[in-house]
Amino acid sequence: ASPDDPPYLRGLNAPQREAVLTTEGPVLVLAGAGTGKTAALTARLAHLLNTRKAWPSEILSVTFTNKAAREMRHRVGRLVGDVVEGMPWLGTFHAIGAKMLRRHAELVGLQSNFTILDTDDQLRLLKQLIQAADLDEKRWPARSLAGLIDGWKNKGLTPAQIDAGESELYANGRGQELYAAYQARLIALNACDFGDLLLHMLVILQRDRDVLADYQRKFKYIMVDEYQDTNSVQYLWLRLLAQERKNIACVGDDDQSIYSWRGAQVENILKFEKDFPGAKIIRLEQNYRSTPHILAAASGVIANNSGRLGKQLWTELDAGEKVKVLGVWDGPEEARRVGEEIDTAQRAGKSLDDIAILVRAQHQTREFEDRFIATGINYRIVGGFRFYERAEIRDALAYLRVVAQPADDLAFDRIVNVPKRGLGDKAVARVHQLARAQGIPLVTAAARILDTDELTGAARKSLGNLVIDMARWRAQVTEIPHGDLARIILDESGYTSVLQAEKSVEASGRLENLTELVRAMEEYDSLGAFLEHVSLVMDNEAAVEEPKVTIMTIHAAKGLEYDTVFLVGWEEGLFPSQRALDEGGTNSLEEERRLAYVAITRARRRAIILHAANRRIYGQWTSSIPSRFVDELPLEHIESESSMAGGESLWRANWSERADPFADVARGTGRGPGWQRAAGGDVAKPGGSYASRTFTREPSRVRESSAPAVSIGNAG
């Protein structure tokens, strides 16, 4: 480093500088979390611009999210000034793909003003095609087909490239036929889906030498962040564009590959050297983000994965606090503890903006949202909707509202044909007309219209069923617990079974959300009280500028960092997810472990891991055991605490019963089957009080794990 260094080089370590200054030829930066990969990439961009090696329009720079692109633009702007304004090719794969495709749309039969379909449109279209192909949509759901097509597009496969084996995955070998029909239909509609943005471009680049040569000449430099999560089509696309000049710099971390379910291929890292012989491989080993304890905890967990490229990490930061592992009684207590910790942090002068709560599954956010609303902690949900704003929750709430309050026309209108029950727009319009003419609620109008002969056939039958169902549910409001009623409504309306038939990751997430909704309801005395709570929640959007705690999934947190991070729900079946456990084998489990690694390494100074001994599902208490990842945390870097009465013995009992998850984990503590739903539907808690004790886990229970690849202290 010299005093004449431009600002963007100041403070960079030697390998980072190398990554910045090696502008020519292929470069692969392979390094662990928080080692300044993104920082180096940003500096590299500034350097290319500052030294006039390229114009802003001559650099292709791919980030994983739009947010990351904005961030990079902002930072480069600070380093080199306005010149960054004209960086058209800085963005996500999708954003860049869309921009390119608009210029060449005609080469694949589209016009440049093509529309990009969202998932709903995509499904509607597929449903039409499935019907046209005379297939039973119940047996061959549109969502399954959508999933397959997405998968093929992620692999860079056009319909012509689908082999019999792949085609066999849908409707006894009709996969390819429907994929082809779908693509043809999209073209006819002058539309494409997200997958097409890259696939069409790939096809164009492969087919049209002039276009390819143009871009190869144009993009003097190519840079890719989060390279470990690129999928095949993205990889092929990059390789084509870079093949001529070979000035491509990718940064990534094999331990943070967490999108294989979306077709990401960590092997792309290994292929890099083969495709770009002589590539310079740079390793960054100094972590600037996290304290030694946090780093060691993360390294200890990830050391349990096999087949890693392996890296050393060290940090100069102060040891800081140990990672806190907090065992709590149940979900509500988990939310309460997190809320209390946040309060304390706030009183100590921390901003809510510096705090994040990371969940494994979307449905987990609900408990925290409710708690924070009750106690007035501002929060934001990143990469998703707030719980009560999610589509399936709104649908379910609409049913409940009509049942509770028949005059709620908005709610009725929302669900009158959800799930699809064969009511055409015309039939629904007739109901509206009658309601208006007679000044009565839609529900009443629906009943009255059946007394006439205005509706016939399927419409008459399904509206009739709905009216009967509604009346029955309404009669049950005072008869059965409202949580049970909600479940009955979701089942009898067909809402649940439609989702169950889909068998997609997305659908199972929606089902989990609905389960969570029922769980939330059970915390209120009546259906009315619950609905009242929801309307208050919906109205509680804090002002934009105010600091807020961030709640998001681990997936959405990739590349980000926060001073304090709460890692919640670290229990077997939740994290690692039940899906990963059911699948068996090491692949999905190792991906979950990489998620754990990503999660821990988001924290700068404080990481607090929580696990609850009980979760309530449909009014049943289920005991859970701490995640195996908790077990894998190196003892010397954590501090454990349990807030349960007799916490130590109970927790130990949990540990020792790990081999048999169905065992009564709390044998001898008075908890057992008789405990579930004590009289009155409420559950008492053992001991009545919450004694808080700190203790260290019994070392003999900790599995020997290979030494974490971390050395702490002042290396270098």
Q: Which residues are catalytic?
A: 37-38, 225-226, 256, 602
Pick one of ligand ATP, Mg ion, none as the site partner of residue 34 (Cβ within 5 to 8 A by kind): ligand ATP
Neighbours of 2 (CB within 10 A): 6
Q: Residue 14 corresponds to which amino acid?
A: A
- Whose CB is nearest to ligand ATP? 36
Is 143 a binding residue for ligand ATP by CB under 6 A? The answer is no
User: Which part of the chain contacts ligand ATP (CB under 6 A), choosing from 33-41, 106-114, 300-308, 698-706?
Assistant: 33-41
Rounded distance, CA 16 to CA 60, Å? 20
Is 39 a binding residue for ligand ATP by CB under 6 A? The answer is yes
Of 42 and 362, the one with the shorter C-beta distance to Mg ion is 42
Contact residues for Mg ion (CB under 5 A)? 37-38, 559
Is 36 a binding residue for ligand ATP by CB under 6 A? The answer is yes
Is 35 a binding residue for ligand ATP by CB under 6 A? The answer is yes
Instruction: Pull the structure tokens for residue 386.
Output: 């707030």
Is 11 a binding residue for ligand ATP by CB under 6 A? The answer is yes
564 annotated ligand-binding residue: no
Instruction: Pull the structure tokens for residue 141.
Output: 């759901």
DSSP H or E run through 469: helix 457-476
32 annotated ligand-binding residue: yes
Is 257 a binding residue for ligand ATP by CB under 6 A? The answer is no
Of 63 and 642, the one with the shorter C-beta distance to ligand ATP is 63
Q: Shortest Cβ distance from residue 549 to ligand ATP (Å)? A: 19
Rounded distance, CA 351 to CA 400, Å? 38
Contact (CB, 8 A) for 380 and 551: yes
Is 373 a binding residue for ligand ATP by CB under 6 A? The answer is no
Is 37 a binding residue for ligand ATP by CB under 6 A? The answer is yes
**What burial letters (b/e) apply to 422-438, b meaning 16+ CB within 10 Å?**
ebeeebbebbbebbeee
Contact (CB, 8 A) for 31 and 251: yes
Rounded distance, CA 507 to CA 48, Å? 45
Of 64 and 114, the one with the shorter C-beta distance to ligand ATP is 64
Pick one of ligand ATP, Mg ion, none as the site partner of residue 390 (Cβ within 5 to 8 A by kind): none
Q: Per-residue string for binding with ligand ATP, 259-298, x by CB under 6 A?
A: -----------------------------xx---------
Pick one of Mg ion, ligand ATP, none as the site partner of residue 176 (Cβ within 5 to 8 A by kind): none
Instruction: Pull the structure tokens for residue 634.
Output: 């190196």
Pick one of ligand ATP, Mg ion, none as the site partner of residue 288 (Cβ within 5 to 8 A by kind): ligand ATP
For the chain, counts of helices (H) and of strands (E)? 28, 17
Q: Residue 37 corresponds to which amino acid?
A: K
Pick one of ligand ATP, Mg ion, none as the site partner of residue 297 (Cβ within 5 to 8 A by kind): none
Is 253 a binding residue for ligand ATP by CB under 6 A? The answer is yes
**Contacting ligand ATP (CB under 6 A), which of 13, 260, 378, 476?**
13
Pick one of ligand ATP, Mg ion, none as the site partner of residue 77 (Cβ within 5 to 8 A by kind): none
CA distances from 631 to 104, 304, 652 (A): 54, 11, 12
Closest CA to 397 of 494, 498, 538: 538
SS3 letters across 220-240: CEEEECCHHHCEHHHHHHHHH
Closest CA to 531 of 408, 626, 445: 408
Rounded distance, CA 696 to CA 246, Å? 54
Is 299 a binding residue for ligand ATP by CB under 6 A? The answer is no
Rounded distance, CA 417 to CA 403, Å? 16
33 annotated ligand-binding residue: yes
**Contacting ligand ATP (CB under 6 A), which of 26, 263, 559, 576?**
559
DSSP H or E run through 167: helix 164-167
Q: Shortest Cβ distance from residue 36 to ligand ATP (Å)? A: 3
User: Which part of the chain contacts ligand ATP (CB under 6 A), choosing from 36-44, 198-206, 577-585, 680-688?
Assistant: 36-44
Rounded distance, CA 485 to CA 491, Å? 10
Binding residues for ATP are: 31-38
Binding residues are: 31-38
Chain contacts with ligand ATP (rule: CB under 6 A)? 11-13, 16, 31, 33-39, 253, 256, 288-289, 559, 561, 601
